Amino acid sequence: MDPPRPQGRHPGWPATLGPLQVPAGLVAVRGPRLFDGGAWSRIRLRDREHLERWEPTAPGTWEDRNAMLAWPGQWSSLRALARRGMTLPFVITVDGQLAGQVTVGNIIRGSLCSAWVGYWVASHVIGGGVAPAAVAQVVDHCFMMAGLHRIEATVRPENKASLRVLEKLGFREEGLFRRYLDVAGGWRDHLCLAVTTEDVPDGLVGRLLADGRATIPR
């Protein structure tokens, strides 16, 4: 059966997806909300050691960038980009509680129909199947409702956990970008991985279900 035709000026937004049952709990994704700031900041400040080494270098201190007062500006910017069709921003919830983010950015339509995906999850749910479940739901949404054809992800070769997430979902390695992104104060090499609609005819969620890594709650 052919996928549904994308609807609207900026298809795929807004959206609420899931849930999927994984060992950590019920994983769903939804658009960010203004009142997410408190939970977002608590996790980001607590998990600095876990997160900072993999994220792009940015002005200011970690504390300032991830304080609760920093969230309204980020939320407003993400919402504006989503309304312009340039990004699809989501937060990850586990059993209804915020536990990370998945962002689809640099959406290009026309003859390319491509974007990149980035994600992070809280340290207390690592290893519980949260990242694969969240990314799978978002990428399937990109291919179906948002009408995209190709999704890329760039990951530092040292980030073995993130590479395992993408490999479980069927992303293929396509090459190495030398000194690609300023991360943790230096220009770092990144592996480029990608998946297209033809690679996963049954969807990424279908792949997780078939592998026994997730179930659909009754």
92-127: pLDDT as tens digits: 999 999 999 999 999 999 999 999 999 999 999 999
The Cα 103–Cα 119 span in angstroms is 6
- ∠125-131-135 over CA atoms, to 5°? 155
Q: Name residues whose C-beta falls within 8 Å of residue 24's C-beta, 6 or more positions apart in sequence.
A: 94, 125, 127, 128, 129, 130
The Cα 214–Cα 218 span in angstroms is 13
Tokens of 191: 């592996």
Q: Please determine, for residue 20, whether its predicted confidence score (pLDDT) is greater than 80.
A: yes
**Residue bearing the bigger pLDDT, 184 or 163:** 163
CA dihedral 63, 84, 133, 29 (to 10 degrees): 70
**pLDDT at residue 123 in the model:** 97
Look at residues 59, 44, 53 and name the one whose alpha carbon lies nearest to residue 184: 53
Q: Please determine, for residue 200, whether its predicted confidence score (pLDDT) is greater than 70.
A: yes
Q: Please determine, for residue 1, whether its predicted confidence score (pLDDT) is greater than 80.
A: no
pLDDT band at 24 (very low <50, low <70, confident <90, very high): very high
CA dihedral 130, 132, 136, 138 (to 10 degrees): 50
Look at residues 110, 49, 66, 51 and name the one whose alpha carbon lies nearest to residue 85: 110
Q: Please determine, for residue 83, whether its predicted confidence score (pLDDT) is greater than 80.
A: yes
Cβ-count burial of 155 within 10 angstroms (0-12 exposed, 13-18 middle, 19+ buried)?
A: buried
**pLDDT at residue 3 in the model:** 54
Query: What are the backbone dihedrals phi and psi of residue 196, each rounded to the nearest 5 degrees, phi first?
Result: -120, 170
**pLDDT at residue 8 in the model:** 58
